Amino acid sequence: MLKGQVSVEFLMITAFAFLLIIPIMLLFFIEAQDINEDITSVQIKKLADELEDAVNNVYYLGEPTKKTINIYIPKFVDSIDFVNNQLQFSVDTGASTYIVSRFVATNVTGSLNANPGMHTIEITAEGNSVRITG
């Protein structure tokens, strides 16, 4: 009878420990996702600022100015679009979807691959616009 009581007590302690661990793990995963979203947001804002500065610099220096920069595109960026004088970054983190926009001094043409990772892009002044390729 003593062996049975020890086994039942052991099972109760183990079950209690799992009941404590499960909510802690759930909280951990939720917080980790929030931190990843915050990091992605900061990375995208930095990317947008870098591109905005580079486009404005090339435009104000005029044709035939050309600038090559290295940028990092985070994993949650769905697309990068150039609409007239606006840079638009579509972001989908799974939990939220939003667009980061930056206005620049001139029309922007070209295309930019939204695959995550490091990219080398070329920004070229062309008359009254700027072309981005990468």
pLDDT in tens, 90-103: 998 887 889 999 99
Does residue 2 register a pLDDT over 80? no
3-state secondary structure of 13: helix
Does residue 4 register a pLDDT over 80? no
3-state secondary structure of 79: strand
Residue type, 102: R
Q: What per-residue confidence (pLDDT) applies to 94?
A: 80
Q: Burial, 77: exposed, middle or buried (Cβ in 10 Å; 0-12, 13-18, 19+)?
A: buried
Total domains, the chain: 1
Q: What is the pLDDT of residues 70-97, one digit of tens each?
A: 999 988 899 999 988 899 999 988 878 8
Does residue 40 register a pLDDT over 90? no
Residues of the domain holding 12: 2-133
Q: Tokens 């090559």 belong to which residue? A: 68
Signed CA dihedral, 131, 56, 87, 112: sign only: positive
Average pLDDT for 26-31: 89
Does residue 25 register a pLDDT over 70? yes
d(CA 48, CA 82): 12
Whether the full predicted model's pTM is greater than 0.85, yes or no, is no
Q: What per-residue confidence (pLDDT) applies to 1?
A: 58
